[in-house]
């Protein structure tokens, strides 16, 4: 690959990351504004459809849902380090820990309760502290941040697998009664924002340039 081709590829990659960042920021801001309003009938219907799924689904969903927990971040980073994917591990730590902390800050700013605080007759499959907040979903934020880092560093094959896990996480958070759909949209957008920053700060190793 020539120097000129490598430079063009790098510029194209940065443009794609910038485009994702801008779109994610827009979605995050819009969803945060809407989340401060009463829950819409559409959001309620989507939530109830998932929350009313059969009880037996909890067994397969629960372990997959752990992809969005804080503990997953250092575990995956250590796996990356073990395989000598140092940049991948560092990007995971930056995006994952960063989005986890920022999500807590945004929760306090938006101040939206969990589904049980705004809807009646829901199925609770997880215990939450009284007064805990729902927007944005920390699970969705972490899962999305990790997914975009994996996609950027390992390519579509691993990226699609990570994306499927992230989708299961978001469905699972409604299923257990933890979040409304907009909480998940906001969390996913926040995850994309932090992943974009991490992918620029710690990009994959550039391909070897040949002359």
Q: Looking at the domain assignment, is residue 210 inside a domain?
A: no
Angle between the N-to-C axes of helices 156-175 and 41-51, in degrees from 0 to 180, rounded to the nearest 10? 100
Whether 209 maps to a domain, the answer reads: no
Please indicate, yes or no, if residue 211 is contained in any of the structural domains: no
Q: What is the model's pLDDT at position 7?
A: 58
Tokens of residue 42, six digits: 């559409």
**Any idea what the CATH number is for the domain that residue 147 is in?**
1.20.144
Residue 206 within any structural domain of the chain: no
- Kindly report the pTM of this predicted structure: 0.91
* Residue 207 is assigned to a structural domain of this protein: no
Q: Give the single-character DSSP code of 81.
A: H
pLDDT of residue 208: 38
User: What does pLDDT average to in each consecutive run of 10 residues of the chain (211 residues)?
Assistant: 58 85 96 95 97 96 96 98 97 98 96 93 90 95 98 95 97 97 98 96 67 38
Domain that holds residue 161: 3-201
pLDDT in the model for residue 209: 37
Question: Residue 4's pLDDT is what?
Answer: 53
pLDDT of residue 96: 97
Q: Is residue 156 part of a domain?
A: yes
Write the Ramachandran bin of 135: left for phi over 0, alpha for psi from -120 to 50, otherwise beta: beta
Domain count, the chain: 1
């Amino acid at each position: 690959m020539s120097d000129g081709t490598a430079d063009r590829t790098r510029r194209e990659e940065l443009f794609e990351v910038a485009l994702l960042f801008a779109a994610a920021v827009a979605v995050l801001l819009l969803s945060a504004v809407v989340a401060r309003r009463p829950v819409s009938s559409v959001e309620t219907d989507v939530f109830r459809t998932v929350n009313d799924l059969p009880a037996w689904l909890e067994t397969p969903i629960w372990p997959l849902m752990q992809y969005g927990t804080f503990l997953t971040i250092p575990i995956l980073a250590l796996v990356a380090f073990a395989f000598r994917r140092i940049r991948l591990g560092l990007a995971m730590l930056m995006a994952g820990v960063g989005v986890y902390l920022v999500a807590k800050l945004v929760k306090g700013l938006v101040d939206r309760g969990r589904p049980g605080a705004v809807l009646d007759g829901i199925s609770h499959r997880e215990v939450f502290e009284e007064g805990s907040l729902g927007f944005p979903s920390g699970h969705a934020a972490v899962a999305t941040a990790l997914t975009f880092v994996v996609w950027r560093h390992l390519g579509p094959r691993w990226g699609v697998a990570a994306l499927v896990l992230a989708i299961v996480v978001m469905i699972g958070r409604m299923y257990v009664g933890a979040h409304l759909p907009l909480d998940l949209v906001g969390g996913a957008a926040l995850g994309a924002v932090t992943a974009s920053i991490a992918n620029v700060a710690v990009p994959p190793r550039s391909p070897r340039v040949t002359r």
